[in-house]
């Protein structure tokens, strides 16, 4: 009859296996680090591996996955897969990459919780060492074929890059430099916007100060005039009388000028009316001349009276006379 193993023995062996695996991982990563790696990063990585071996959560990972997946990948997967942290970091719509939406919040809160540090650049270098690629240059989006949402079993296919060859060193150095440059650009963009806002606010404040100074200068000028007026009033008691007299004279001149303009306008109206009457008379005379025929002229001669039509102007010039009926008699 086969004996059933005790639950305590299973948990003990599992814990022992986890510690051995973590120790092996630390040893491999120590050996793979070359002289170009920063000592602080190596110490930080060792500390993370040791802490993870002790505080490992078996509820999320299966026992056989623990030895095949490094603590860095497990922790990163847990951060991205956590729905609570979606405003800070989350899967992309395709779930084939993840996006860090808020690098500041990620560095201040999530990194200390999972990795015991706040160095965002160190986290990016770790991603590069595991073969993660930056998808979008305008944001912190990274992808790896073995790092996909809902497929944690693919994590065992992700291996840490070896740093023994110069080619790998150059590639890692170039990637790190580009990442740091992108990080600096992203950090500088909000600072530039803030500087532009501050500069605009400063210009507006200066403009407002100039406007206020002009208003204050105007008020000071008015106050000086008022003080000067009251000073003259206090020194010379007859100043008010002269001022009133001057005011009356000004009003009188204005009234006289208005009266003169009124009379001038009246004379112009009368002259215009007279001219209109003269024009009307001339027009009536011309109309009467055009419609009345020339007067009959009675000519007395030896042979008898002869009636003829002559020009009245010529007859009057020659000595003729016109009676009340409009007839002209020539002797």
| 274 and 326 fall within a common domain | no
Does position 326 have pLDDT exceeding 70, yes or no?
no
E strand residue ranges, the chain: 89-91, 97-100, 133-136, 140-143, 296-301, 304-309, 321-322, 328-330
- Kindly state whether residues 120 and 98 are assigned to the same domain: yes
pLDDT value at residue 37:
42
Domain extent for 301: 296-330
Do residues 242 and 318 both lie within one domain? Answer: no
User: Average pLDDT, stretch 46-62?
Assistant: 47
Beta strands 296-301 and 328-330 are: parallel
pLDDT of residue 155: 84
**In-domain check, residue 27:** yes
The pair phi, psi for residue 116, each rounded to 5°, is 65, 30
User: 257 lies in a domain?
Assistant: yes
Determine, yes or no, domain membership for 100.
yes
Percentage above 90 pLDDT, the chain: 3
Ranking 18-27, 45-54, 175-184 by mean pLDDT, the lowest is 18-27
CATH number at residue 16: 1.10.10.10
Rounded Cα gap, residues 164 and 223, in angstroms: 86
pLDDT for position 216: 92
Cα 231 to chain center, whole Å? 53
The answer to whether the beta carbons of residues 294 and 310 sit under 8 Å apart is yes
Listed residues 109, 135, 164: the one ending a domain: 164
- Alpha-carbon distance 123 to 107, whole Å? 9
pLDDT band of 54, cuts 50, 70, 90? very low
Same domain? 139 vs 61: yes
Say if residue 73 is in the same domain as residue 46. Answer: yes
Q: How confident is the model at residue 98 (pLDDT cuts 50, 70, 90)?
A: very high
Residue 16: pLDDT band (50, 70, 90) is very low
Residue scoring higher pLDDT (2 or 189): 189
pLDDT tens digit sequence for 300-314: 544 444 444 445 555
pTM flag (> 0.75): no
pLDDT value of residue 314: 52
Domain assignment present for residue 128? The answer is: yes
pLDDT tens, residue by residue, 194-252: 888 888 889 889 889 999 989 898 888 888 888 887 787 777 767 777 778 888 888 88
Residue 243 shares a structural domain with residue 310: no
Q: What is the mean pLDDT of the chain?
A: 70
The tally of domains found in the chain comes to 3
pLDDT at 18 exceeding the cut of 50: no
pLDDT in tens, 57-97: 444 555 445 567 788 888 889 889 888 989 989 999 988 89
CB distance 161 to 130 below 8 Å: yes
Rounded to the nearest 10 degrees, the angle between the axes of helix 39-54 and helix 7-32 is: 170
Q: How far apart (Å, rounded) are the C-alpha atoms in residues 131 and 161?
A: 7
14-23, 111-120, 271-280, 287-296: lowest mean pLDDT where? 14-23
Determine the straight-line distance between the first and last CA of the chain, rounded to whole angstroms: 188
List pLDDT tens digits, range 171-201.
555 666 777 777 676 666 777 778 888 888 8
């Amino acid at each position: 009859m086969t004996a059933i193993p005790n639950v305590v023995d299973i948990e003990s062996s599992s814990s022992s296996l986890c510690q051995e695996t973590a120790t092996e991982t630390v040893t491999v990563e120590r050996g793979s680090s070359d002289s170009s790696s920063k000592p602080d990063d190596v110490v930080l990585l060792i500390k993370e591996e040791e802490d993870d071996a002790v505080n490992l959560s078996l509820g999320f990972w299966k026992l056989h996955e623990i030895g095949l997946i490094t603590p860095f990948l497990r922790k990163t997967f847990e951060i991205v897969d956590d729905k609570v942290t979606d405003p800070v970091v989350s899967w992309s719509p395709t779930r084939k990459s993840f996006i860090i939406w808020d690098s500041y919040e990620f560095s201040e809160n999530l990194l200390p919780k999972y990795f015991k540090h706040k160095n965002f650049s160190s986290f990016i270098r770790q991603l590069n060492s595991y073969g993660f690629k930056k998808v979008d240059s305008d944001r912190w989006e990274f992808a790896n074929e073995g790092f996909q949402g809902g497929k944690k079993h693919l994590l065992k296919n992700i291996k840490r890059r070896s740093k023994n060859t110069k080619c790998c060193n150059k590639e890692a150095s170039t990637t790190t430099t580009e990442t740091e440059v992108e990080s600096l650009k992203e950090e500088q963009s909000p600072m530039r916007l803030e500087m532009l806002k501050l500069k605009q606010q400063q210009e507006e404040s200066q403009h407002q100060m100039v406007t206020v100074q002009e208003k204050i200068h105007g008020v000071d000028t008015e106050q000086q005039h008022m003080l000067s007026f009251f000073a003259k009033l206090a020194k010379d008691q007859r100043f008010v009388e002269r001022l009133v007299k001057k005011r009356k004279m000004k009003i009188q001149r204005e009234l006289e000028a208005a009266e003169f303009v009124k009379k001038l306008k009246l004379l112009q109206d009368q002259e215009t009316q007279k001219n209109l009457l003269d024009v009307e008379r001339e027009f009536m005379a011309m109309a009467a001349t055009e419609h009345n025929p020339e007067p009959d002229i009675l000519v007395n001669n030896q042979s008898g009276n002869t009636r003829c039509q002559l020009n009245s102007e010529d007859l009057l010039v020659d000595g003729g006379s016109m009676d009340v009926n409009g007839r002209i008699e020539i002797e």
